[in-house]
Amino acid sequence: MICRLEKKAIEEIKTTHILPQTPFWGRLKSKQGFKPYGFELTVSKDLLYNTENTSKSIKDDILILIKYIDSKHCFAYVPYGPKLEPDFENHGVFLEYLSEVLKPQLPTNCIFIRYDLMWQNQWAVDEEYFDETGNWIGPPQSQVQEFRVNFKTANWNLQKSPNDILPKNTFFLDLTLKEKDLLYNMRYNTRYNIKNAAKKGIQIKEYGIEHIENWYYLYKETALRQHLPLQNKEYFSTILRNQDNTKNGVNVKMLMADYDGQFLASMFLVLSNKRGTYLYGASSSQNKNMMASYALQWESLKIAKKWGCSEYDMFGSAPNLNQKHPLRGIHIYKKGFGGNLFHRMGCWDYPYNHKIYELYKMHEINN
């Protein structure tokens, strides 16, 4: 088994459809207190796949973000990485190898590394974890997850993080389909709302940073209404300023829906390689009957398809239709566009300094 690293400049990281593993994301997070590291990762296939019995290797880039929690200690965070996805049985073995190879490359005061895994959740393919209506009830308790993921590891050191950072559940849409087929796959109410918005005169246009105030007004209203964490205006300005604006890089489009000069909905569409991502959305509590957000989402899908994207990531939803879940409304809205629900593994930690890690973990749990 082989697992080795070679340092790489952030801007040299290869283009990928996984947005949080792009140079754009590294630049964005460097403005928010993280220090980005880039590496080229070489892994033998037998470390990833059970069917491989040779030492043939595969290469891929990985972006790692260093975050200081005080003047003496930091941790490493891998957003939606590593991109290489092993067989379920090799999840833990691969992460253990990678963590130990990474350790000498990280600051000596790094107390743990956190992987925000985009890999398919192992319990999302297990019938035992679905209810009688077909809703996924979620993975088992952390101790049960850790027992399975650490299987075959030497150190039994991987722990489920107290919290997940990037969305664990999302809907993916297939943009290789024709527009008429995309519409056909939608729920009747969604198709009706899209057509109704067009009849009522909703207009969708792309706007630049000069309209960031209009975006932020809608965003702040939405965040407060839905009890979501609130970012500041500069955060969104940074997203627009740090894009690549090239076909090979990351392109960000701030789309807004207006009616008779009034902005009713807005979103950030991010185009990265072959994937479009609905990164942020906002809507007014006024004129809800205009269905502006439906027209906006449909236009976004068409833009991503025209750009050359083969898939569209709705970037976050509830894991199921549980009445009590805070994202249930968002789940119903996104589900209406006809995508397939995907469940990720979420955040996993590999501690280097167990004593300090446990203190930090307790702090996370209590805050």
The structural domains of the chain, with segments of one domain joined by +, span 3-164+344-365, 176-309
Considering the domain 176-309 in this protein, what is its CATH number?
Answer: 3.40.630.30
Q: How many CA atoms lie within 13 A of 25 on its CB side?
A: 26
Left if phi > 0, otherwise alpha if psi is -120 to 50, otherwise beta: which for 55?
Answer: alpha
For 12, 35, 117, 268, the CA distances from 32, given in Å and listed in that order, are 21, 9, 21, 19
Pairing outcome for strands 74-79 and 110-120: parallel
C-alpha to C-alpha distance for 48 and 94, rounded to whole angstroms: 7
Cα torsion 53, 57, 60, 64: sign: positive
- Tell me the CATH architecture of domain 3-164+344-365: 3-Layer(aba) Sandwich (3.40)
Q: Is 249 exposed, middle or buried (0-12, 13-18, 19+ CB in 10 A)?
A: middle
List per-residue pLDDT tens for the chain, 367 residues long. 678 899 999 999 998 999 999 999 999 999 999 999 999 999 999 999 987 666 789 999 999 999 999 999 999 999 999 999 999 999 999 999 999 999 999 999 999 999 999 999 999 999 999 988 888 999 999 999 999 999 999 999 999 999 999 999 999 999 999 999 999 999 999 999 999 999 999 999 999 999 999 999 999 999 998 888 889 999 999 999 988 866 668 999 999 999 988 999 999 999 999 999 999 999 998 888 899 999 999 999 999 999 999 999 999 998 888 888 888 889 999 999 999 999 999 999 999 999 999 999 999 988 7
Identical topology for domains 3-164+344-365 and 176-309: yes
Report field, pTM of the whole predicted structure over 0.75: yes
Query: pLDDT by residue (tens digit) across 249-283?
Result: 899 999 999 998 899 999 999 999 999 999 999 99
Q: Find residue 348's DSSP bridge partners.
A: 115, 160
For 47, 57, 83, 92, 95, the CA distances from 152, given in Å and listed in that order, are 12, 21, 21, 7, 11
Torsion angle (degrees, nearest 10) of CA 49, 111, 120, 42: -30
